[in-house]
Structure 1
Amino acid sequence: MSKFTTKNLVVPIETHLKDEVKAILVRLGLNQSQVVSALYKEIARTKKVPLSFDLNDTREPDSEELVAINNFLARRKSENYNTHSLADVISEIETSKGKTK
């Protein structure tokens, strides 16, 4: 029978985050070691980190874009427009954004 050796992993993490995650894991019947081990096994198996680090997923509009969006929404409301396709909406916002420069 082969015997696995283990190593301890020490990871500094914010206390509130650790406590929040630990409470979730307890509800799932898991502990922190099991989850970290599962994460490592998944990375080894797939050769990928199973998380997304894409800034575009969470990017907030900048001030110029907010002005263009607000102008668009105000104009749509005042003109009592009906629903349009997403492509039309984006195109109009982009056009409006160009006008605010």
Structure 2
Amino acid sequence: MLLTRTNPVIKPRTLTSIHEQLRDHGVNLFHTQMHEREAFKAMFSFGGTLETLDRAQVNNIDKAILNARDFASEVVDILKAAQNAEGEGAHLAATSAPMTSSKVA
């Protein structure tokens, strides 16, 4: 689960409590949170990407870019781990499968 629109500076007790409750119930949470930043909103207002936004019109673009890159990096890490686990599972299944005879009668 991805927490979005969080405050990058202040982590309220309610958010900490929600975070703990979700983990206690076995919900996997991304370590990265997508913070509420004007740059993310500006992409929809002005169009384009974070990199193409006008820095004269939008503040903290660099922080939004770092936040987005952190999230993307975490997603890639999770996908690679899942792929590796899947590959190991397939390898284990292949090496432990019973041998079958292919005799021709």
**Of Structure 1 and Structure 2, which has the larger fraction of its residues in strand?**
2
Between Structure 1 and Structure 2, the one with more helix by share is 1
TM-score if structure 2 supplies the norm length? Answer: 0.20
User: What is the TM-score when the length of structure 1 is the normalising length?
Assistant: 0.21
